């Protein structure tokens, strides 16, 4: 009998590694290939950075509570976030969509209104794409291209022992926004007469539906002349991203629970829903904040401000990756990001 | 009541135009944007070309008769064909796939074996991508990046009056390959005991399942120092592509039926199936040959060979676009390419 390995038994990251291990580099212009947020291509003076994402209805978004304009905006944000995570500036995107006949032209106009708004926001040009029909559901594929001064791109693999671990903004809100919308969807499906109760939950809902890529952080780092030693964007939850950074940099880390930035609304809703807010930050995902490391020498340049939090430090690999709780206990970090399979 | 325009009422090309008309160019590096086979990005000495395609199971391919390895190969061929159609060389691709749990790891290995084989063939690096689950069916999104000497890229819009119209290889075979496989599928579904009858039909079946992008034609043009005035790849049928070229170049054309290159096997099978072989060439699609125009001054450089056929010439726009039949009658060319909606 033919061998059959279940995809679920590998997991997404192992699957990509597995499927792409053969990919041998043929062009001198390919500076960095698979395995980071984006690839890097050399172009005589500047380097080009490429990143791509595929968004599938029913997997990545639910049109029952996702306005199409927000979806278009988010699809671009998520992609340019990967470009920023390379310390690069996005310059162009391509957008391909597959739609079934249940979508009207007006619906697609809404989607593209969001895409165009994001192009304005991130100063990128929509330069191409493909549109075709789908037997079922909406598929969005976006490729973002960016540029960076030669060898100034920042990989996941550059973290050094004693580096400080920094994260922008706050974490865990998008995950709670999703829980809230899923709850309201369930209530609505049981009784369509009940109106959604999202009052005073603007922040977490917006964090899920209309995330912003942190262009401002990259600009700020440039102004301060801070070159991070490693960087990644937080799409699968802090734990998962920290483990990626540490694995690729061959280091360990300690992160302090009390230093993890969590918005007051996130704390309130997590309390209401009976979910630990630290767990939301560690495993929730979809925050699209930037997680990066800097050498201790840069410490004085870091402001004590809301925009960036220093949450821990890098250790030797053999020390492992730990969370130090508010009570002073150390727990190993475990990747519990959203599973695609 | 809210307005609802059916997508089918616009058609694919009008839909893309409609959705992307707002896309204003923001970056000086964006040399050419939406509306050609690929975008062109300036990178200090060379220009970068980008093209992207989305392939959806049940729309673009049928896994009942498409081996996954062939599908992977074809997905890459189709994309790099767009890069060649810009007179550029592909250098990198990204590949994103969404798969449902019915696919095993071994099945994906087959798909990637085809992708890797095509990367070898076209000398491109697989530099990134995304893998996620799909509620139903396989989705493949490929973006190809290529490079071209500054301002040597060839658009659809450069054809001049009196230019010669050339096409590589032969046309109409892939369409007949599809008809044959669809016929065998129908027979198989009615009676699984019947074995497929594809004997001596290798050529047309291969043209459908494993098309080659015409890298050799671009190399040959370079060797001969021939700079086409306009170029497009034949994905939707000769008529549709000729009309694209003429519209974008604001010219008309005359094409001679007897000059359209059609393979002997294509002629045989079209006769067997009772389909006119010229119709297959004009409206069939998926040939992935290169259709281009050259100035008459280049005529002497063109060899009388199978690789490239001169099929007609460019006229003033007000003369329209015509096919001159073997009987000497002129019929207006009509786009009847495969409709996505």
pLDDT tens-digit series, residues A44-81: 667 788 888 899 998 889 988 899 999 999 999 999 99
> Is residue A34 domain-resident?
yes
Left, alpha or beta for B172 (phi > 0: left; psi -120 to 50: alpha)?
left
- Is the confidence at residue A1, as pLDDT, over 50? no
Alpha helices per DSSP H over A125-283: 173-190, 202-209, 215-223, 238-249, 264-273, 277-283
pLDDT tens-digit series, residues B276-285: 999 999 999 8
> Is residue A177 domain-resident?
yes
**Which residues are B126's β-sheet partners?**
B93
User: Do A117 and A172 share a structural domain?
Assistant: no
Average pLDDT over every residue of A260-287 = 94
DSSP assigned state of B337: P
User: Do A129 and A249 share a structural domain?
Assistant: no
Distance from the Cα of B119 to chain A's closest Cα (Å) equals 8
A303 touches chain B (CB under 8 A): no
What per-residue confidence (pLDDT) applies to B228? 95
Strand order in the sheet with A30-32: A30-32, A39-43, A46-56, A139-149, A89-99, A125-133
Out of B45, B123, B128, whose CB is closest to A34? Answer: B128
Out of B52, B108, B125, whose CB is closest to A26? Answer: B125
> Is residue A112 domain-resident?
yes
Contacts of A191 (CB under 8 A, 6+ apart): none
How buried is residue A331: exposed, middle or buried, by Cβ count under 10 Å (0-12/13-18/19+)?
exposed
Of A103, A126, A149, the one marking the end of a domain is A149
pLDDT tens-digit series, residues A167-199: 999 999 999 999 999 888 888 888 877 776 666
Pair type for strands B251-256 and B321-324: parallel
Choose from A1, A7, A24, A57 for mutation: most chain B CBs within 10 A.
A7
Contact B125, B217 (CB under 8 A): no
ipTM (interface pTM): 0.84
Query: Under an 8 A CB cutoff, do A141 and B54 touch?
Result: yes
Domain that holds residue A247: 164-332
- Is the confidence at residue A338, as pLDDT, over 50? no
What per-residue confidence (pLDDT) applies to B338? 44
B145 touches chain A (CB under 8 A): yes
pLDDT tens-digit series, residues A219-241: 999 998 999 999 999 998 999 99
- Is the confidence at residue A270, as pLDDT, over 50? yes
What per-residue confidence (pLDDT) applies to A75? 96
User: Do B263 and B122 share a structural domain?
Assistant: no
How much is the CA Rg of chain A, to the nearest whole Å? Answer: 20
What per-residue confidence (pLDDT) applies to B238? 96
What per-residue confidence (pLDDT) applies to A51? 86
Instruction: Tell me which chain B residues have a C-beta less than 8 angstroms from the C-beta of A18.
Output: 105, 109
What per-residue confidence (pLDDT) applies to A328? 93
Strand spans (E) along chain A? 30-32, 39-43, 46-56, 89-99, 125-133, 139-149, 164-168, 230-233, 251-256, 290-294, 308-316, 321-324, 330-332
* Dihedral, A197, A202, A207, A208 alpha carbons, nearest 10: 20
Return the structure tokens found at B261.
């290159």
What per-residue confidence (pLDDT) applies to B204? 93
CATH number at residue A76: 3.30.1330.10
Choose from B28, B36, B51, B52 for mutation: most chain A CBs within 10 A.
B52
User: Do A113 and A76 share a structural domain?
Assistant: yes
User: Do A204 and A124 share a structural domain?
Assistant: no
User: Do B195 and B79 share a structural domain?
Assistant: no
> Is residue A252 domain-resident?
yes
Instruction: Tell me which chain A residues have a C-beta less than 8 angstroms from the C-beta of B136.
Output: 135-137
Tell which wins on pLDDT, B28 or A300.
A300
Tell which wins on pLDDT, A103 or B223.
B223
CA distance A132 to B54: 8
Low-confidence ranges of chain B (pLDDT < 70): 1-45, 196-199, 304-305, 336-341
A127 touches chain B (CB under 8 A): yes
Of A116, A149, A182, the one marking the end of a domain is A149
pLDDT tens-digit series, residues B288-334: 999 999 999 998 888 766 789 999 999 999 999 999 999 999 999 98
């Amino acid at each position: 009998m033919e061998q059959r390995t279940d995809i679920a038994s590998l997991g997404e990251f192992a699957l990509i590694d597995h499927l792409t291990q053969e990919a041998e580099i043929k062009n001198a212009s390919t500076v960095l290939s698979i395995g980071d947020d984006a690839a890097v291509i050399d172009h005589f003076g500047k380097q080009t950075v490429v990143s791509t994402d595929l968004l599938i209805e029913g997997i990545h978004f639910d049109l029952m509570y996702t306005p199409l304009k927000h979806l278009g905006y988010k699809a671009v944000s998520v992609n340019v976030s990967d470009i920023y995570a390379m310390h690069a500036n996005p310059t162009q995107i391509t957008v391909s969509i597959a739609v079934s006949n249940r979508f009207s032209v007006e619906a697609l106009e809404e989607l593209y209104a969001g895409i165009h708004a994001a192009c304005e926001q991130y100063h990128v040009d929509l330069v191409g794409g493909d549109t075709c029909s789908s037997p079922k559901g909406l598929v969005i594929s976006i490729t973002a291209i960016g540029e960076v001064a030669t060898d100034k791109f920042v990989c996941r693999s550059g973290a050094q022992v004693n580096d400080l671990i920094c994260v922008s903004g706050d974490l865990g809100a998008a995950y709670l926004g999703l829980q809230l919308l899923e709850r309201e969807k369930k209530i609505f499906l049981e009784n369509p007469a009940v109106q959604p109760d999202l009052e005073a939950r603007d922040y977490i809902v917006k964090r899920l539906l209309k995330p912003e890529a942190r262009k401002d952080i990259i600009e700020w780092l440039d102004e301060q002349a801070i070159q991070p030693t490693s960087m990644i964007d937080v799409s699968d939850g802090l734990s998962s991203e920290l483990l990626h950074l540490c694995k690729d940099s061959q280091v360990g880390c300690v992160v302090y629970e009390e230093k993890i930035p969590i918005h007051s609304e996130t704390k309130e809703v997590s309390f209401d829903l009976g979910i630990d807010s630290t767990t939301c930050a560690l495993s929730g995902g979809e925050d699209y904040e930037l997680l990066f490391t800097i050498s201790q020498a840069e410490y004085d340049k870091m402001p004590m401000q809301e925009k960036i939090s220093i949450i821990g430090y890098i250790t030797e690999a053999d020390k492992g990756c730990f969370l130090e709780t508010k009570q002073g206990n150390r727990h190993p970090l475990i990747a519990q990001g959203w599973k695609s399979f």
